[in-house]
């Protein structure tokens, strides 16, 4: 009789283990993201070669022991650029690099957006000439087109609406 009871107990345990594992393995359904993303179109960052415009010449001046350069760029690519960076190496008369600095746009650099990047580095007596190297996280940047002046698109330049009269 004890053998029969232990057999029944073993059968109950054997049948309950897979059922418990099946209940444990079920995951809750993913949350509905439609309210969060309602009406928004998400464009992934551009991969490959990007196209930009640069206001030329960049504004460079010396403030005591610091050289400050402001570069204005416009994204002419079809998609946003992630991790857009400007490197500025400075060379001496022999062509050796004597100083270098870099500036990056945090977030995405949207198409037709104009951004100003400020490059700062300590003054070095051997500084003779410099260069600008443009890049982004997912590819390269074509040789930039130089323009005399860059302004924000007309849609962004509208003045703020006047407050409603009471």
CA dihedral 122, 140, 157, 164 (to 10 degrees): -100
Residues in the chain with pLDDT values less than 50: 158-166
This prediction has a pTM of 0.68
Range of the domain at 56: 52-153
**Residue 116 belongs to some domain of the structure:** yes
pLDDT in tens, 30-58: 777 667 667 777 788 999 999 999 998 99
The answer for 29, left when phi > 0, alpha when psi is -120 to 50, beta otherwise, is beta
Cβ 148 vs Cβ 58: under 8 Å: no
**Residue 89 belongs to some domain of the structure:** yes
**Residue 136 belongs to some domain of the structure:** yes
Domain count for the chain: 1
- In 3D space, the residue among 119, 148, 147 whose CA is nearest the CA of residue 131 turns out to be 119
For residue 149, the domain's CATH number is 2.60.40.10
**Residue 84 belongs to some domain of the structure:** yes
**Residue 3 belongs to some domain of the structure:** no
pLDDT in tens, 149-164: 987 666 555 444 444 4
Tokens 């640069």, located at residue: 54
> What pLDDT score was predicted for residue 166?
44
| Residue 161 to residue 146: CA distance in whole angstroms | 34
> What pLDDT score was predicted for residue 165?
47
């Amino acid at each position: 009789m004890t053998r029969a009871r232990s057999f029944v107990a073993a059968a109950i345990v054997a049948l309950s283990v897979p059922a418990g594992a099946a209940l444990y393995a079920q995951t809750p359904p993913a949350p509905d993201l439609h309210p969060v993303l309602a009406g928004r179109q998400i464009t992934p960052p551009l991969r490959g070669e990007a196209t930009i415009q640069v206001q030329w010449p960049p504004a460079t001046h010396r403030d005591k022991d610091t050289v400050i350069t402001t570069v204005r760029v416009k994204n002419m690519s079809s998609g946003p650029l992630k991790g857009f960076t400007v490197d500025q190496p400075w060379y001496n008369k022999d062509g050796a690099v004597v100083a270098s600095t870099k500036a990056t746009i945090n977030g995405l650099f949207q198409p037709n957006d104009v951004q100003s990047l400020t490059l700062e580095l300590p003054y070095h007596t051997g500084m003779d000439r410099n260069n600008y190297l443009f890049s982004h996280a997912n590819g390269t940047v074509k040789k930039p087109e130089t323009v005399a002046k860059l302004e924000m698109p007309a849609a962004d330049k509208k003045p703020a609406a006047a407050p409603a009269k009471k």
